Structure 1
């Protein structure tokens, strides 16, 4: 009973605000406010408010919500574990059996013949320990005074 009274009061207040907004020549906003104001009274007239009030204060309804939450948690947990394992054994066997063989098993072999080594670069003489030649970099650094 009190929920219906509150919804009716909210609707009346909203319609009053819509009337003031329409008086200020803001008709589009007034129509939108009136639409929002009519929702609570419409919910009262359809019985949704009574149903929601009965559900909100019912211990049986809250126990049912708890049971639904536990069921959802079990579903989510089992799904997460199944994903982590990669599915069930039957599903893995079926996936392995359904997987086709490679179309071209030798496709990874080079198609241009055996690999050859590129020609060795001549060393410049000052470096005989096998490190790379950095003489051009040293020249650039000397040029900039570094």
Structure 2
């Protein structure tokens, strides 16, 4: 009963502030304040405030919160220990097996295929053309286009 009264009073005060804000021609802010001030009344009307008040003063509810906290602490502790150890046994065993097996143990170098010959020239050095060869290429292109 007290919680409902406090919520109603807070809503009334908020609506009063919204009216003063609207009087100052700040309608957007007044609308926002009115929306916030209607929330407590809505919570009272839906029964949430009564449920929270019953829960806050219930020793059984507080014991339940304690049990939930203990469960969370146990989960967190096991996760911390698991990370320090490096995972569960099955995960460690799978990781060790993956380290031993290579992806492709027989492939040591890329295959060039039958009859492939390697160039004696380094791959990074471009073939040097003489200026006459370059001009003849340009002439051929120009003749092709009729220029």
- Shared fold per TM-score greater than 0.5: yes
In structure 2, distance between residues paired with 1:10 and 1:102: 68
Q: TM-score, normalised by structure 1?
A: 0.68
Runs of 5+ consecutive residues of structure 2 not aligned to the other structure: 110-147
- Across the aligned residues of Structure 1 and Structure 2, the Cα RMSD in angstroms comes to 1.8
In structure 1, distance between residues paired with 2:91 and 2:103: 21
The aligned runs of 1:4-83 (5 Å cut-off) are 4-83=4-83
* CA displacement at 1:91 relative to structure 2: 1.6
* CA displacement at 1:106 relative to structure 2: 6.3
* CA displacement at 1:6 relative to structure 2: 0.4
In structure 2, distance between residues paired with 1:94 and 1:59: 48
* CA displacement at 1:94 relative to structure 2: 1.7
In structure 1, distance between residues paired with 2:85 and 2:97: 18
The CA deviation string for residues 117-146 of structure 1, in whole angstroms up to 9 with x for no partner, is: xxxxxxxxxxxxxxxxxxxxxxxxxxxxxx
The CA deviation string for residues 64-88 of structure 1, in whole angstroms up to 9 with x for no partner, is: 0000000000000011001100112
Match in the other structure for 1:91:
91
Runs of 5+ consecutive residues of structure 1 not aligned to the other structure: 108-146
Q: TM-score, normalised by structure 2?
A: 0.68
How many residue pairs get aligned? The number is: 107
In structure 1, distance between residues paired with 2:12 and 2:49: 17
Structure 1 stretches of 4+ with a deviation exceeding 6 A read 104-107
* CA displacement at 1:89 relative to structure 2: 1.7
Instruction: Please identify which structure carries the higher helix content.
Output: 2
In structure 2, distance between residues paired with 1:61 and 1:35: 32
* CA displacement at 1:98 relative to structure 2: 3.7
Structure 2 residue 102 is matched with structure 1 residue 101: yes
